[in-house]
Structure 1
Amino acid sequence: MPMHDFMCQSCKHEFEELVVKDEEVKCPKCGSANTQQLMSCCRFSMGGDNGVGKAAQWRAQGGTSPSKCSGCSGGNCSTC
């Protein structure tokens, strides 16, 4: 289920909501169904401190590395 940003047109409250297809979204503050979906940016995170652990796990499961460097295995060192 995707997370979407909304604004209530009645009380101007902005909120996020997990949305199932064609589900009516009501404002959690005033209960109005007069809501409008806002444009929001896509969020993606590999997790961890800098994502290195998750990136290595992703490559081990069939993902490809941007570089085959044996020094850093990810294209982040001066020899890549």
Structure 2
Amino acid sequence: MSIENDIKKLFVSKFNLTEEILCSGDSIVNEGLISSIEFVRLTIELENLFDLEFEDADFNPANFKNVSTIASLVMKKKEV
């Protein structure tokens, strides 16, 4: 299973977003697809799912724009 697919499944199961919404290209955070509380929950879910820990510098809106940018961040964190 790919990281992007795992992230999509997380959004569908935990945040009730459809794959169509996730593939639309809309910014997950900037378009309000998840709330600020859900964003905190998302980061915790990602840390648990991929066994990693985000640093303060990772919390750049560009890193959480869409599934692809989140997957890139996860891959980068897994390399460190």
Higher-helix-fraction structure = 2
TM-score by length of 2: 0.25
- Higher RCO structure (Cα 8 Å, ≥6 apart): 2
